[in-house]
Chains A and B, each alone.
Chain A
Amino acid sequence: MSWNSTSEFFSMGGYALYVWGAYGVTALLMAVEPLLAARRRRRALEQARIAADAEPRA
């Protein structure tokens, strides 16, 4: 292991801005995308329910 302390890990040998800037945005986007996809499915299901309720049962 190349780190002697937590602060050394987070400073990334002076490249903290670049390493964490790259990883932070990637993590954020990859956390948000699945939530958006799941929300889209829930909304589609809700719409299908409303459409089904609006029509008289056969």
Chain B
Amino acid sequence: MRLSTFAAPSRFYALAGVLMPWLWAAAALLAAAGLWIGFFVAPTDATQGEAYRIIFIHVPAAWMSMLVYLAMAGWAAVGWMLNARMASMLARALAPTGALFTFIALWTGSFWGKPTWGTWWVWDARLTSELILLFLYLGFIALVEAIDDPRRGDKAGALLAIVGAVNVPIIYFSVRWWNTLHQGATVSLTSAPKMASTMLTAMLLMTFAFWAYAIAVAFSRSRAIVLEREAHADWVRGIAHGGRA
């Protein structure tokens, strides 16, 4: 069995249904461990006091907001170029989750900015580009939902998602390219992390928890989209009647 087998919506539907409980369990366990270490093991920050504990959801949400966007644009591109319906449905399924993480990143950032910077919001490069990311997600959702023909909607959405992907490196490097109020990267692949190891552990656990959550909820939503789109296929009728018995 090849990977492309799961490009068939019926196969994907079944596989996602099998994987989802494990993903939910992983998300719950990782979040429980991350929150425990974040609140009960990680020490108080010397300069920010307890306010810094927002980092354990802020940074993972911000990372996910960018990662989910790249995944969404990638699947949308695959769906367009290879004429793969399932890939386009995955892109649609990821959009609301990406928008949610973007909103959470902005919201938690605001609640962190007020006690540390003295303001809920500032029009600096990092915050503004992240806000644009939220508008890109909302624009993608509005565009694909506004077009009645699903495959035409997929293609229009793919174009928007691919063009909008230029914003992701702008967000990521904004703290380096411009003078911003937002601090630089605390964790990078090329240098040692600038934080206590227990803090880093909590943040990474929360990141993996959010990751499992994002995949699980995207699977859940893509199963709904598959049923909506394939309502007249024999296999969906089989499931619909099997569910009643």
Contacts of B104 in A (CB 8 A): 25-26, 29-30
Check A37–B224 contact: CB distance below 8 A: yes
Check A29–B44 contact: CB distance below 8 A: no
Known contacts A29-B100, A49-B243; decide if A34 and B220 are in contact (CB<8 Å). yes
Contacts of B49 in A (CB 8 A): 13-15
Contacts of A30 in B (CB 8 A): 100, 104, 213
Check B50–A51 contact: CB distance below 8 A: no
**Is there a chain A Cβ closer than 8 Å to B112's Cβ?**
yes
Known contacts A13-B49, A15-B49, A45-B240; decide if A22 and B228 are in contact (CB<8 Å). no
Bitwise interface map of B from 106 to 139 toward A, beta carbon under 8 Å scored 1, else 0: 0110011011000000000000000000000000
Check B50–A49 contact: CB distance below 8 A: no
**Is there a chain A Cβ closer than 8 Å to B143's Cβ?**
no
Check B224–A22 contact: CB distance below 8 A: no
Bitwise interface map of A from 13 to 39 toward B, beta carbon under 8 Å scored 1, else 0: 111011101110110011001100110
In Å, the complex CA distance between A9 and B36 comes to 13
CB < 8 Å A-B pair total: 104
The main secondary structure of chain A at its interface with chain B is helix
In B68-110, the 8 Å CB interface with A consists of 96-97, 100, 103-104, 107-108
- Closest B residue to A51 by beta carbon equals B231
Check B220–A47 contact: CB distance below 8 A: no
Contacts of B58 in A (CB 8 A): 22
The main secondary structure of chain B at its interface with chain A is helix
In Å, the complex CA distance between A23 and B34 comes to 13
Q: Can you name 11 A-B residue pairings with CB atoms under 8 Å? A: A1-B41, A12-B53, A13-B44, A18-B112, A22-B108, A23-B57, A25-B104, A30-B213, A34-B220, A51-B231, A52-B237
Binding site for A on B (CB under 8 A): 24, 39-41, 43-44, 49-51, 53-54, 57-58, 61, 96-97, 100, 103-104, 107-108, 111-112, 114-115, 213, 216-217, 220-221, 223-225, 227-228, 231-232, 236-237, 239-241, 243-244
Given contact pairs A2-B44, A21-B111, A49-B243, a sample of 7 additional A-B residue pairs in the complex whose CB atoms are under 8 Å apart: A12-B50, A23-B54, A30-B104, A33-B96, A33-B217, A48-B236, A49-B244
Binding site for B on A (CB under 8 A): 1-3, 9, 12-15, 17-19, 21-23, 25-26, 29-30, 33-34, 37-38, 40-41, 43-45, 47-49, 51-52
